[in-house]
Structure 1
Amino acid sequence: MTAAFSQDVSGDMLEYLADQEQKSLLRFLTCGSVDDGKSTLIGRLLYDTKLIFEDQLAALERDSAKHGTTGEDIDFALLVDGLEAEREQGITIDVAYRFFATSKRKFIVADTPGHEEYTRNMATGASTADLAIVLVDSRQGILRQTRRHSFIASLLGIRHIVVAVNKIDLVDFDQAVFDKIVADYMDFAKDLGFKTITPIPMSARFGDNVTTASENMPWYEGRTLLEHLETVPVENDYLERSFRLPVQLVTRPNLDFRGFSGQVASGRVSVGDEVTVAKSGRTSRVKEIVTWDGNLETAVEGQAVTIVLEDQLEASRGNMLVSPGDRPHVADQFMAHVIWFHADAMMPGRSYVLRTEADSVSATITTLKYHIDINTFAQEAAKSLHMNEVGVCNISTQSPIAFDSYRDNRVTGNFVLIDRFTNQTVGAGMIDFPLRRSQNVHWQALDINKEARATLKHQKPAVLWFTGYSGSGKSTIANTVEKLLHAKGRHTFMLDGDNIRHGLNRDLGFTQEDRVENIRRVAEVAKLMTEAGLVVIVSFISPFRSERQMARDLFEPGEFIEVFVDTPLDECARRDPKGLYKKAIAGEIDNFTGISSPYESPESPEIHLHTIGHEPVELAIQIETFLNGQ
């Protein structure tokens, strides 16, 4: 290659890159029910815009012969259905992202699955999209999943919809079929808040109205899909929104440099601008904006930067640098829409890990206000959220977080819920607003604190949390422990499961939801008692690890002592001191632990008692010895 030719290529490449930077970017997704042609449509778009290399086309032809569902024709769905399981079953499972560009615009498209069990994947693809193509099979019309995906798209802030009435060739390009489907869609979507809804009849397999106008539908006078995607106005108002930088990392390579690193979530910031630390309210000015490629005068949404302030302010991971004139909410209680992903239902009162763009805190869904019927969008009372359901909840976090309402900022207004033990993402949420009660209720400083009360009693506060099957001996051992401690002059109080249900928790039954609330209330009472300086003895089956972890999180390190009373289930059933096992086995008692409801054994309790062959006094002495050694 000659130097002159190299310079020409370099010049052409720089010109090409500069041209690409000037183009606007549209993020969109395809969604809808199973087998509506989502993957085929994207494959057709890539093929018709000549973005498939010759070797890819050859591989596609081979794969079509092996896995294809279109006879001798090319199966364009295989371009994006990359998983072997997807090809074998002819379905989309994972979210596939593809980039392509035309002379007018750049695109990032997400191909999302249609199966109901993969709704979480669809929500992932929708979370960053500006437009959704909702595919509808001309033969099937509007289905449940069409409604579900449209509702989720609305919930996640998408304002532009294309109703792609696909496989129109299979109904002889009938305009009446198209008009009926469009009318049905417009009827149920009229209150979803979409800015534009554009219906297009098409055949993704044969390319009708995808990139070129179809000769088979002279009655359709609108734009092709590609023409619409190239021209649909996308709101570029992100620079006008208030500045937000969620702090991901505090960078301090040496004593002379301290910067706050993260990706600008919205707005812009320049050297010399005032910024505020969201949680503390302290304000400084921007001294430098540092990037890998050098310092900037101004940073805008999407840029990863490190901001150096003129003053030494504290802003660790989980905080935000924001515009002083428009600060986000900082609260520990808020209302949110939640999409539930997991097969195990969401339980109000159960503790989860809530993660925002940069923060991670323990959180509890205090109230499920209602769930939303996906067919009618009616608000219906419910005690729990099941897989793929959408509900409106009140959520309480263990410590305040900084956030915006999702409608104002999609980045700083979203969160996910994580199961504490499996680390699985079980739900995703969009914050509506902080609860007024969180703004009106504050901690009152008290002159006499827990340490002062405990000193007066000459003891260290603690919670002995006994857990095990019904009939395992929890209450007997706990009662013996209290007698031993009382004889030694220790100040104690015992909370027994049956006794509490006669008073504080008399309104609760034995459903999973009520059992979660049962433990939440007792844990809060036990916490108050430790504030009084007491040794609190709690004897509850408390079958779920998540609730025991929720209780543990309320206390200071070392205060919560989990005592696993380990008695085999068959021995508990043999003892059956209250006759409950007999009734449960006969089906007379629902949700009975060990019979019709699971018990999750502690994985690492502080004290593990094996009761077979040991007397209660002997086991109680083990616990007293543990306490004396602390």
Structure 2
Amino acid sequence: MNAVLAEKELSQAAAERGLLRFITAGSVDDGKSTLIGRLLFDSKGIFADQLDAISRAKHKRTVGDTVDLSLLTDGLEAEREQGITIDVAYRYFATPKRKFIIADTPGHEQYTRNMVTGASTADAVIILVDVSKVKLGEDGSVELLTQTKRHSTIAHLLRIEHVIVAVNKMDLVNYDQTVYDRIVAAYRQFAQQLGLADVHAIPMSALVGDNVVAAGERMPWYQGPTLIELLESLSVYDDAHDQPLRFPVQLVARHNGHEANDFRGYMGRVESGKVSRGDKLVVQPGGQTATVKDILTLDGSLETARAGQSVTLLLEEYLDISRGDMLAAAEQPATLQKTVNADICWLSEEPLDPRRKYWLKHTTRQVPAKVTKIDTLLDINTQERRTAEALKLNDIATVSINVAQPLAADAYAQIRATGAFILIDEVSHQTVAAGMIRLD
């Protein structure tokens, strides 16, 4: 027993030191792209030819020979012309302690859907707050921007574990600690309303580089870690390893027609838990039971496959299993749902019409769906919920959805992969909403 616990602790420790995926979020012109450029530049994460290219860029927004680091992520011509981020840009870099994948997401309200896309796989989020835009009242009040609150709310709904509040452009307020303390206190109060637990705050200037990679000499009153030090220390252990097996079937593989044996394998990704030869499984939503005969990969056969691995499962029994079915642990199957209760973020400029039909895409299964009720609409600023008849772009609400065929699902809070879905417009085939399933 002790050996098993020791092995689990070692594997967890290794996972915690692994790859970290994080995103930058916040309002327009808070300095998200510049911050990432500064991270890459100061950590030696860019090549000389990249630096030379942005030095000669015609749309740079800096004075004199100063390099516009935001151009490292704002790659689209429209982004450079307007000085804004439109699409999600991914960048990869590493330090001696850890590897990183960064998603630079837009601040504009109309591009919130892109922020949701970048946040869906993130372990951490950096919420940038521009000190020059926060309204500080003489009575001690602090008014955070709406997009700061919206992105924080989405981070909470998507269960992003770590939240870093980067109070940026401190150089514009002469590195005033009082201004920083008031903004951080206001954000922590809002985070408490949301239910965000792991919140770290750092004062910085992305343009100058204070507290990004190197400590800011102009802020001796701040004794905490720099941004890169904090990112290197965050835990990224995925709880999906400890959850029951969930294996959505992506494809049924057959032999090539020239062999006598009737090979039938079920291809997909282990979304949570693990599967071993001899395990008893249940096929959902059908309910048949099955036994694992073998686990195949391109490199050969495996005894056990774990969360995150893509494999082909061979079963002892001949069963009617197709794409969209779920193979789950027999003793802990997923919950079958014909009515789905969920939090959704509406991503379409076309308002939600409860009379319309949509497609609901959940893991590898796609079924006709209809939104039967908008239970509550969330007010981003006050965090209060109220009734609503329709949803418009960027609204966040709790809804009830009826599906034509049952879904084998889990609460998003327990297993991300089997608790998430998207709604697709039946006519335009555009993604109109991202949803997180609730089982409470």
User: Counterpart of 2:119 in structure 1: which amino acid?
Assistant: A
What residue in structure 2 maps to residue 146 of structure 1? 148
Q: CA deviation at 1:187?
A: 1.1
Matched, 1:203 2:205: yes
What residue in structure 1 maps to residue 230 of structure 2? 228
- d(CA) in 1 for partners of 2:123 and 2:304? 25
Q: Secondary structure of the residue that 1:388 maps to in structure 2? A: coil
Q: CA deviation at 1:389?
A: 0.2
What residue in structure 2 maps to residue 386 of structure 1? 392
Q: CA deviation at 1:162?
A: 0.3
- d(CA) in 1 for partners of 2:112 and 2:420? 17
What residue in structure 2 maps to residue 363 of structure 1? 369
Q: CA deviation at 1:79?
A: 0.4
Q: Is the 8 A contact 2:282 2:328 kept in 1?
A: yes
- d(CA) in 1 for partners of 2:275 and 2:405? 28
Matched, 1:78 2:78: no
1:41 to 32, 35, 45: 35
1:240 to 239, 242, 265: 242
Q: CA deviation at 1:194?
A: 2.2
User: Counterpart of 2:205 in structure 1: which amino acid?
Assistant: S
Structure (1 or 2) with the larger CA radius of gyration: 1
RMSD between aligned residues: 1.5
User: Counterpart of 1:205 in structure 2: which amino acid?
Assistant: L
Q: Is the 8 A contact 1:158 1:194 kept in 2?
A: no
Q: CA deviation at 1:289?
A: 1.0
Matched, 1:132 2:125: yes
Matched, 1:420 2:426: yes
Structure 1 range deviating more: 211-220 or 50-59: 50-59
- TM-score, normalised to structure 2, is 0.91
Q: Is the 8 A contact 1:403 1:413 kept in 2?
A: yes
Q: CA deviation at 1:305?
A: 0.8
What residue in structure 2 maps to residue 259 of structure 1? 265
- d(CA) in 1 for partners of 2:244 and 2:92? 29
User: Counterpart of 1:71 in structure 2: which amino acid?
Assistant: V
Q: CA deviation at 1:110?
A: 0.7
- d(CA) in 2 for partners of 1:348 and 1:167? 44
What residue in structure 1 maps to residue 99 of structure 2? 106
Q: CA deviation at 1:78?
A: 0.4
- d(CA) in 2 for partners of 1:355 and 1:385? 20
Matched, 1:30 2:24: yes
Q: CA deviation at 1:22?
A: 9.9
User: Counterpart of 1:94 in structure 2: which amino acid?
Assistant: D
Q: Is the 8 A contact 2:122 2:160 kept in 1?
A: yes
What residue in structure 2 maps to residue 271 of structure 1? 277
Q: Secondary structure of the residue that 1:67 maps to in structure 2? A: coil
What residue in structure 2 maps to residue 177 of structure 1? 179
Count of matched residue pairs: 413
What residue in structure 1 maps to residue 60 of structure 2? 68
Q: CA deviation at 1:293?
A: 2.2
More strand by share: 2
1:296 to 284, 290, 302: 302
User: Counterpart of 2:118 in structure 1: which amino acid?
Assistant: G
Q: CA deviation at 1:88?
A: 0.5
Matched, 1:156 2:162: no
What residue in structure 2 maps to residue 465 of structure 1? none
- d(CA) in 1 for partners of 2:17 and 2:343? 35
- d(CA) in 2 for partners of 1:116 and 1:344? 15
Matches within 5 A, 1:527-566: none
Structure 1 range deviating more: 182-191 or 20-29: 20-29
Q: Secondary structure of the residue that 1:277 maps to in structure 2? A: strand
Matched, 1:95 2:88: yes
What residue in structure 2 maps to residue 346 of structure 1? 352
Q: Secondary structure of the residue that 2:24 maps to in structure 1? A: strand
Higher relative contact order (CA 8 A, sep 6+): 2
Matches within 5 A, 1:398-547: 398-433=404-439
- d(CA) in 2 for partners of 1:85 and 1:349? 37
What residue in structure 1 maps to residue 293 of structure 2? 287
| Structure 1 gap segments, 5+ residues each | 1-19, 435-630
User: Counterpart of 1:106 in structure 2: which amino acid?
Assistant: K
Q: CA deviation at 1:173?
A: 0.6
- d(CA) in 1 for partners of 2:15 and 2:420? 29
1:50 to 24, 44, 47: 44
What residue in structure 2 maps to residue 193 of structure 1? 195
- TM-score, normalised to structure 1, is 0.64
Q: Secondary structure of the residue that 2:255 maps to in structure 1? A: strand
Deviations 1:336-390 (A, max 9, x none): 1111111111012321111111011110000111110111111011100111001
Deviations 1:577-604 (A, max 9, x none): xxxxxxxxxxxxxxxxxxxxxxxxxxxx
Q: Secondary structure of the residue that 1:181 maps to in structure 2? A: helix
Q: CA deviation at 1:251?
A: 0.8
Q: Is the 8 A contact 2:272 2:306 kept in 1?
A: yes
1:314 to 309, 313, 320: 320
Q: Secondary structure of the residue that 2:56 maps to in structure 1? A: helix
Q: Secondary structure of the residue that 2:151 maps to in structure 1? A: helix
User: Counterpart of 2:18 in structure 1: which amino acid?
Assistant: S
Sequence identity of aligned pairs in percent? Answer: 53
What residue in structure 1 maps to residue 141 of structure 2? none
Q: CA deviation at 1:195?
A: 2.9
- d(CA) in 2 for partners of 1:131 and 1:213? 21
Deviations 1:81-101 (A, max 9, x none): 111100111110001111111
User: Counterpart of 2:192 in structure 1: which amino acid?
Assistant: K
Q: Secondary structure of the residue that 1:299 maps to in structure 2? A: strand
User: Counterpart of 1:198 in structure 2: which amino acid?
Assistant: H
Q: CA deviation at 1:23?
A: 4.9
Q: Is the 8 A contact 1:159 1:193 kept in 2?
A: no
Q: Secondary structure of the residue that 1:124 maps to in structure 2? A: helix
| Structure 2 gap segments, 5+ residues each | 1-13, 135-143
Q: CA deviation at 1:183?
A: 0.9
User: Counterpart of 2:100 in structure 1: which amino acid?
Assistant: F
- d(CA) in 2 for partners of 1:239 and 1:157? 16
User: Counterpart of 1:43 in structure 2: which amino acid?
Assistant: G
Q: Secondary structure of the residue that 1:88 maps to in structure 2? A: helix
Deviations 1:406-425 (A, max 9, x none): 11111111111111111111
Deviations 1:299-349 (A, max 9, x none): 112211111111112221111111112111112112111111111110123
